[in-house]
Structure formats: C-alpha cells, structure tokens
Amino acid sequence: MHITITSFSLIAIYLSRVVSAHTVTISAPDPGPTPMPPVMGVLFVQTSDPTFSGYVAIARDVLGRYVVTQDRSLALPVTYADHQIFPMFVEGFTNLGATFGEVFQSPPEGPGNNAFEGNSFNFAALTGTSSGIYGEPAQAGKTSYIPAPTNFYESAFFTLDHQNNEILPTWINPDGSPKPSTFGISLDGGELEDPPLFVSMNIGSFNAIYGGYSARIFLVNDPLPVNSISITD
C-alpha cells in the first residue's frame, strides 16, 4: 500500500497538535457578586439599658416616628433588601428610613449641609420614607416625620451583617462622605414607654442634650426575651 503525504497534510497534522496542546477556554463574562436574597423578620432593639429593649413597633407615634415596644405581637414585620428596610405595613410610605431636619446644631448648619460631622448632636429620627439609592446623600422629600420643617431623609443607608443579623446604619453627607452611625432611643419627651428611635453619629453628644440610650438593632425571626441581653456604651 502506498501512502502519499503532502505538505498540506503535514501542516494540518502540525496545527491539530498545536491546538490540542494549547486549548483555550473562553468563559462567560463575570456577572459580579450575587445579590443577597431578601431577609424577612422583625427588628429587635437591644438598648444599653436593657429596661428599654424591645422591638420596632408597627404603629408610629403621633409625630410619625418609629418607636420601641416590648410586646412581640406588636412588632413590625419587615424585609431587608438592597440596603433598605421595607415594612409590611406601609401606611403611606414604602420604607423605614431616617429623617433629619427638626433641630440641628450650627455648625455644621442644617439640611443640605454635612449634618453628621464633628461632635454635633445632630440626629435623624427613624420614620416612614420613600425609597432611596444606596450611597446617595440625604434628599428632600416627604416623610412621616411631622415636626421637621425641611425633611431630608435617607432610606438606603443600612447594611445587614450576615454573621449576626445586625443592622448597621451609615449616614451619607451631601458631600458624599459616609458616616458610620449608631441607633439610639430618645427619652427627651419623657417616653418611658414606647420611646422613639433615632440614628446619630455622636450618641454621647445627643444624650447630653436630650437624654436617651444607645441601641443596636437586629433582624430576627424568633421571639427574644427583651431583657435578656445588655450592651455597654
């Protein structure tokens, strides 16, 4: 049997070996991090004085602020997603957010300026708000907070720590600077029952003016004994 090998055959054999020895795998574009699925539950409020620990209540107070209740059956069901907290009972507002503008320390001036700065006592009450965009500063708009003459609110400023389900607030100033903040309860109005909630960069400065306690908020599914946990400032 006679076999003729042409130059074209040799080239084909050579190329096939080169290709097989250097196989290139083409992957699909990286879609980026997978978004965390929505997390549902109620918001457990753990105060530095455990006497006031409880849950964020369904009903807001007469000023439109979210308050703490020790009655688990009155706790507000929520969903956390995309740095926002969505209450099951909307009552005119899609989000649980924070509103700044009732009173403020000058400097750093008022709404439209860097509210959370230095050692100011400035605060934002937890209220009903509209939806927001994560990383954007406070914007003017309608909220449930009645006393604020100029409402500046943020709603997409929460981060859920998936290790312990703690909600962590970070206020964004108008200049874009993020300010890690702390929750607290206010006793300024003598609200020993159902105290209102707020967020501030300087809990110590706030408490010196208004009185209250620092707080941590956790997204939970199971009932907790409200006086079983305490923290220190």
Residue 91 lies in a domain: yes
Number of domains in the chain: 1
Alpha carbon of residue 206 to chain centroid: 21
Supply the pLDDT for residue 116.
75
Supply the pLDDT for residue 113.
64
Range of the domain at 152: 39-220
CB atoms within 10 A of CB 205: 17
The model carries a pTM of 0.77
Q: Is 18 exposed, middle or buried (0-12, 13-18, 19+ CB in 10 A)?
A: exposed
Question: Could you read off the pLDDT tens digit of each residue along the chain, which spans 233 residues?
Answer: 454 544 444 444 444 444 444 444 444 444 444 456 678 999 999 999 888 999 999 999 999 999 999 999 999 999 999 999 999 987 889 999 999 866 665 555 555 566 777 677 888 899 999 998 999 888 888 889 887 766 688 999 999 998 999 999 999 887 888 989 999 998 876 656 789 999 988 888 888 888 889 999 999 986 555 444 443 33
| Region of residue 118 (phi > 0: left; psi between -120 and 50: alpha; otherwise: beta) | left
Task: Please give the Cα distance from 165 to 139 (Å, whole number).
Answer: 27
Supply the pLDDT for residue 22.
46
Q: Say if CB 46 and CB 53 are below 8 A apart.
A: yes
Which tokens hold the place of 133? 């965009």
Extended strands (E) in 147-206? 152-154, 158-161, 166-172, 178-180, 182-186, 197-200
CB atoms within 10 A of CB 223: 12
Residue the block writes with tokens 């753990």: 46
Supply the pLDDT for residue 123.
87
